Amino acid sequence: MYPEEKKIRKATRVESVMNSALWHLGQKDLTESELLAKLRVKTDNEDWIADTLEKLRGFGYLKSDNEFAIKFAERAFSSEYGSGYILEKLKKKGLNDTLIKAMITKVKEDLNIDEQAILNERINSYYQEFSISKEKLSAALQKRGFSYAQVNEAIKQHACFEQLQTNLEIKAEKADLEKEVLKYARKGKGMTVIRQELRQRKIDITALDALVEKLISSEQIDFYSACLEQLEKKSYDLTCHKERSKAYAMLSRKGFSSEEIKFAMSEIE
């Protein structure tokens, strides 16, 4: 490990500042702002720092912020990254938004960069078919610096677009309809709410009515008793019209039918 990384020894002469600068630049490309920050740890002598930076520019070892941004953007686009990634990374390196955006625009114009085409090519070559959810795919592509709109357009042009499922749809395919119905029934939900919940979760309810009839016949579900149980948990005065309306509304929100609610109220009265 380079000695400076263990315990930075303060420079006692300008040559030490230059050596430190060359070592850092040998590790990786740095913006002037990044190198300046590192040199100010090495010394507080601004004249030495200024002299070092001037010589490095003269040797061609230190790129201007403009040149650094251009080279970075060129590499990023060629590696199938989008503008958002370039902007984020260069901001962390101390470059300002205006300069970064201007250099991104320059690179796109000079090299005729079409970000949508880059993204389309990436999704078509990397994903012959989809084994992940739409959310996971979208997050992965946005992480590479492409916008939500660009990602959506790229997904829609893919040959297997119709096969791409959301997390909800993937879970729905694995759901056991009978277990789901019994789960909601145990929570005191009526048929209306059960149907709504299953639809929202994209679970196939084609066989729902037949299944519920079977569960009722086998006495695994009794909506009338369930409705009464929910009503008994409350303390409504059913002799009062206002309270009775509140009770009816509460049971209706839980998904019970008018017949089930009337039955429950008649048992309480």
Q: Do 186 and 159 share a domain, yes or no? A: no
Does 174 fall in a domain?
yes
Choose the final residue of a domain: 164, 186, 201. Answer: 164
Instruction: Count up the domains in the chain and report the number.
Output: 4
Does 86 fall in a domain?
no
Does 256 fall in a domain?
yes
Does 184 fall in a domain?
yes
Does 69 fall in a domain?
no
Q: What is the pLDDT of residue 9?
A: 75
Q: Domain range for residue 181?
A: 167-221
Rounded Cα distance, 215 and 7, in Å: 74
Q: pLDDT digit string (tens) for 237-258?
A: 998 999 999 999 999 999 999 9
Choose the final residue of a domain: 200, 221, 242. Answer: 221
Whether the per-residue pLDDT at 119 is higher than 70: the answer is yes
- Structure tokens, 45: 């002598």
Rounded Cα distance, 57 and 43, in Å: 19
Q: pLDDT digit string (tens) for 191-242?
A: 999 999 999 999 999 999 999 999 999 999 999 999 999 999 998 999 899 9
Q: Do 204 and 232 share a domain, yes or no? A: no
Q: pTM for the complete prediction?
A: 0.67
- Structure tokens, 82: 């989008």
Whether the per-residue pLDDT at 152 is higher than 70: the answer is yes
